[in-house]
């Protein structure tokens, strides 16, 4: 990102989330789902993510994560949903319908593969949008360059040898789902003591990708 664009993005974020008199604190809502896939994972990641947004972007943020079910009446209060897990995800018919309506109405979903999530997520997101396909997000996509200039989705945690890869689902040309496969951004955002073997530069990459995701969502 060039310097002029960088300054513009900061100005826009400040105006929307700080200067606006009716601005509420930005919140990240973590989805509680069924199926036994550890929906509650990365328990310190969201709060640390919010701190990073406050420090690096000057955003007015909440102090902690919010937990929601897809059928909660207040779902639309949160423009950004976070889903993480190690294994099976299972969405009910009502949850599937609610997520579809939320996404086509302007909401955004970030999915973090904490290893073992891939098969069930692909199955469930196909129920949400039967006629759509997850598409590989190329390394020149704005989500990797809208604030920090990254080479692509960083590999944070070495669960296996698979390369990190970003996938997206689009509706009417808008990216509504960003799926981080074999990267595990959440692990890199957790308290340092939880993954003490992660070197500082890896944690820095996770933080930068996390900032880019939010910047992209709020400016596109």
Q: Residue 3: is its pLDDT beyond 60?
A: no
Q: Give the pLDDT of residue 42.
A: 84
Q: Residue 6: is its pLDDT beyond 60?
A: no
Q: Residue 15: is its pLDDT beyond 90?
A: no
Report the C-alpha gap between 80 and 209 in whole angstroms: 15
Report the C-alpha gap between 179 and 78 in whole angstroms: 18
C-alpha closest to that of 28 among 70, 79, 87: 79
In degrees rounded to 5, what are phi and psi of residue 137? -90, 115
Chain-centroid distance, C-alpha 123:
19
Q: Give the three-state DSSP class for 76.
A: helix
Q: Residue 218: is its pLDDT beyond 60?
A: yes
Q: Residue 10: is its pLDDT beyond 90?
A: no
C-alpha closest to that of 205 among 183, 178, 179: 183
Judge residue 66's burial from the number of C-beta atoms within 10 Å of its C-beta, 0-12 exposed, 13-18 middle, 19 or more buried: middle
Report the C-alpha gap between 185 and 178 in whole angstroms: 12
Q: Give the pLDDT of residue 24.
A: 79
- Average pLDDT, integer, range 25-45: 91
Report the C-alpha gap between 9 and 20 in whole angstroms: 16
Q: Give the pLDDT of residue 64.
A: 83
Are 8 and 147 in contact by the 8 Å Cβ rule? The answer is no
Lowest mean pLDDT segment, chosen from 36-40, 139-143, 145-149: 36-40
Give pLDDT tens digits for 72-130: 999 999 999 999 998 899 999 999 999 999 999 999 999 999 888 999 999 999 999 99
Q: Domain-by-domain residue ranges, the chain?
A: 3-219
Q: Give the pLDDT of residue 9.
A: 44
Give pLDDT tens digits for 147-199: 999 999 999 977 777 899 999 999 999 999 999 999 999 999 999 888 777 89
In the chain, alpha helices (H)? 3-14, 45-57, 93-104, 118-128, 185-189, 200-219
Lowest mean pLDDT segment, chosen from 49-58, 60-69, 121-130, 194-203: 194-203
Q: Give the pLDDT of residue 87.
A: 86
Q: Which CATH class is domain 3-219?
A: alpha beta
Q: Give the pLDDT of residue 23.
A: 59
Q: What is residue 155's DSSP assignment?
A: -
Q: Give the pLDDT of residue 193.
A: 86
């Amino acid at each position: 990102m060039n310097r002029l664009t960088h300054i513009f993005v900061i100005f826009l974020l400040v105006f929307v989330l700080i200067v606006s008199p009716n601005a509420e604190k930005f919140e990240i809502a973590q989805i509680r789902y069924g199926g036994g896939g550890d929906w509650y994972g990365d328990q310190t990641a969201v709060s640390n993510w919010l701190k990073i947004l406050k420090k690096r972007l000057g955003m007015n943020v909440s102090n902690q994560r919010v937990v929601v079910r897809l059928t909660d009446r207040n779902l639309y209060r949160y423009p950004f949903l976070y889903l993480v897990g190690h294994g099976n995800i299972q969405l009910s018919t009502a949850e599937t319908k609610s997520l579809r309506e939320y996404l086509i109405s302007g909401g955004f979903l970030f999915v973090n593969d904490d290893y073992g999530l891939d098969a069930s997520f692909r199955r469930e997101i196909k129920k949400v949008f039967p006629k759509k396909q997850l598409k590989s997000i190329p390394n020149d996509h704005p989500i990797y360059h809208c604030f920090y200039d990254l080479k692509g989705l960083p590999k944070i945690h070495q669960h296996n040898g698979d390369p990190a890869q970003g996938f997206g689902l689009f509706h009417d040309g808008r990216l509504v789902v960003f799926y981080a496969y074999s990267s595990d951004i959440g692990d890199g955002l957790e308290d340092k003591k939880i993954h003490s073997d992660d070197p500082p530069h890896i944690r820095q990459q996770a933080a930068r990708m996390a900032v880019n995701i939010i910047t992209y969502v709020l400016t596109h």
